[in-house]
Amino acid sequence: MLTKLKIKYIQSLGHKKFRDEEGVFIAEGPKLVGELLLACPDRITELYAVPEWSSRRPAGGPDAVTIQPQELERISQLATPNQVLAVVKQFETPDAVPVRGQLVLALDTIQDPGNLGTIIRIADWFGISRIICSRDCADCYNPKVVQSTMGSISRVGILYTDLEKWLAEEGQPVIYAAALEGQAVSATGKIKEGVLVIGNESKGISPAVFEKVTQRITIPRIGQAESLNAAVATGILLSHMRG
């Protein structure tokens, strides 16, 4: 049985302040926790699971504390708790993200946790190993972000910084921007080096960041939709740009 103190501690990790103070985050569900146990078992510090999961758990990581479904409900951040919850050490933040020889994603004020998590997962799918986030993007360790990455958070390095300043310091690489007006992405060819900037869900790329862009690209619109979801647009662009 979980103590009141332990329940309070795990519940507190739903808030960024406490996650950062402790240097950990929460991951939930058999699929996500299974991915993390495979990718980075040494980073999992605590496991709490119902008997069903404990009896057939993957190898690696710490021993699981077996709890009842009603206890899992009390510590879960999900609307429908799902068998297992892990407390995981946060990943090391890259000191720098060199662009030379690779394509890097830069996110300008992506604030929806589901969008950010999905973009991290898409980046992983297309072999993007680094993402630069403006400081006002959603926290990558928000439980909804972590859930949406489905384990990709363990393979994609994420750096929060002053995006405008970072782009200005990069110098030579081409900086591509997803915009409504620009060259069709199908005409850009495969990109091996550069930065792809994705803007805010409703406002797009901020003017200060847009000034640093050297090439505008767009997904040609055929129908009447006003815009595309940021994560969907990222997937379409990368499907054309990755070699």
Q: Is there a single domain that holds both residue 211 and residue 126? A: yes
- pLDDT for 243 equals 66
**Which residue range is the domain that position 237 belongs to?**
103-241
Domain for residue 23, yes or no? yes
Q: Is there a single domain that holds both residue 112 and residue 232? A: yes
The position carrying tokens 């795990």 is 10
Q: Is there a single domain that holds both residue 75 and residue 182? A: no
> Per the structure, how many domains does the chain have?
2
- pLDDT for 198 equals 96
Sheet holding 215-218, edge to edge: 157-161, 130-134, 103-107, 194-198, 175-184, 215-218
Single-letter amino acid code for the residue at 86: A
Q: Is there a single domain that holds both residue 78 and residue 192? A: no
Q: Is there a single domain that holds both residue 110 and residue 178? A: yes
- pLDDT for 199 equals 93
Q: Residue 167 contacts by C-beta under 8 Å, 6 or more apart in sequence?
A: 106, 175, 195, 197, 209, 212
- Domain harbouring 60, CATH code: 3.30.1330.30
Burial 157-196 (b: 16+ CB within 10 A, else e): ebbbbebbebbeebeebbbbbbbeebeebeebeebeebbb
- Domain harbouring 147, CATH code: 3.40.1280.10
Domain for residue 98, yes or no? no
Distance, CA of 115 to CA of 65 (rounded, Å): 32
Q: Is there a single domain that holds both residue 12 and residue 80? A: yes
* Whether the Cβ atoms of residue 139 and residue 17 lie closer than 8 Å to each other: no
- pLDDT for 224 equals 86
Q: Is there a single domain that holds both residue 126 and residue 67? A: no
The position carrying tokens 């008997």 is 51
Between strands 194-198 and 175-184, the pairing is parallel
Distance, CA of 43 to CA of 61 (rounded, Å): 8
Half-sphere exposure of 190 (CA within 13 A, CB side): 6
Report the chain (243 residues): mean pLDDT per 10 consecutive residues. Answer: 94 97 97 95 97 90 94 95 97 81 94 97 96 96 97 95 89 83 88 92 90 92 86 95 82
Q: Is there a single domain that holds both residue 115 and residue 61? A: no
* Whether the Cβ atoms of residue 199 and residue 108 lie closer than 8 Å to each other: yes
Q: Is there a single domain that holds both residue 131 and residue 80? A: no
